Amino acid sequence: MTSPTETVKKSFKAQMLDARELAITASVNRLLSEKGFDAMTVDEVAAEVGIAKASLYKHFSSKEQLACAAMVQAMQKAQAFLEALDKQVGPDTAIDQDLTAGNTALHKLMASTRWTLQLKLAGEMPTLPSQNSSLRATLMASRPYMDGLMKVSDLLGGWIVQAQKDGAINPALPPIAVLYTLFARACDPVVEFLKMSELHTDEEIVEMVMTTCFAGLNARNN
């Protein structure tokens, strides 16, 4: 039905479309992490991408869908990172199996948190508004987003339970509380405040937040 030429042509056009949508979500991702959903305007997005606002609406039917696409992309990026981390064997080939397992579960949780903080410092972590927002409903109704969220939660949840068995994470804390605490690092205002103060490098900020997150403020653990 379609000649090779047409197929190539179509594929090429589709590639251009995908590339444009990628450029859009990248801009949305950046603006979303910089200003948040409410403060971000569609005009800004259009201006940053370099196309007319009406063209945006040919790709995404609403501001919510626009933001949702960026969030889905970020979520899938996180999922990919965690899945890669899950498959990889711990770098330390200790003899004691239990100890090794304990280290790897805790270390995977720490690696995930560190990754999140670095993304946030790089301005690539779109933060969803914790308060009631029209965006929440859209995200909850988005299969790709919820699928990613569930997969991410499952992976982290498994490591949390394992780390608690290993005696590496406080077993008195419900796993769900640990999970939320780790998720919360993605929108931790401490990171922004410390970055604004310009007294510390990004690496120092990451390490300080990692310390307060896992070892707490108390002196004993450090």
Partner DNA sequence: GTCTATAATCAGATAGAC
Partner DNA sequence: GTCTATCTGATTATAGAC
Contacts with its own copies by CB under 8 A lie at 34-36, 38-39, 129-133, 164, 167-174, 176-178, 180-184, 187-190, 192-194, 197, 199-200, 208, 211-222
From the list DNA, its own copies, none, which binds 104 (C-beta under 5 to 8 Å, kind-based)?
A: none
CB-wise, 14 or 176, nearer to DNA? 14
Assigned token pair, 76: 């899938």
From the list its own copies, DNA, none, which binds 58 (C-beta under 5 to 8 Å, kind-based)?
A: DNA
Q: How far is the CB of 65 from its own copies (least distance, A)?
A: 20
How many residues line the site for DNA (CB under 7 A)? Answer: 19
CB-wise, 20 or 165, nearer to DNA? 20
CB-wise, 59 or 136, nearer to its own copies? 136
| Calculated CA dihedral for residues 85, 87, 92, 94, nearest 10 degrees | 140
Nearest to 144 by CA among 199, 65, 59: 65
Q: How far is the CB of 131 from DNA (least distance, A)?
A: 14
From the list its own copies, DNA, none, which binds 84 (C-beta under 5 to 8 Å, kind-based)?
A: none
Element (H, E) at 102: helix 97-121
3-state secondary structure of 44: helix
CB-wise, 2 or 197, nearer to its own copies? 197
Which pairs with CB-CB distance under 8 Å and at least 24 residues apart come from 121-125? Answer: 121/191, 121/195, 121/202, 121/205, 121/206, 123/30, 123/33, 123/34, 124/29, 124/30, 124/33, 124/74, 125/33, 125/74, 125/186, 125/187
Within 6-65, the residues that bind DNA by CB under 7 A are 17, 20, 40-43, 50-55, 57-59, 61-64
| CA–CA separation, 160 and 171 (whole Å) | 9
Say which residues have a Cβ less than 8 Å from residue 118's Cβ, sequence separation at least 6: 202, 206
From the list DNA, its own copies, none, which binds 9 (C-beta under 5 to 8 Å, kind-based)?
A: none
CB-wise, 47 or 94, nearer to DNA? 47
CB-wise, 16 or 122, nearer to its own copies? 122
| CA–CA separation, 217 and 118 (whole Å) | 21
Q: By CB under 7 A, name the binding residues for DNA.
A: 17, 20, 40-43, 50-55, 57-59, 61-64
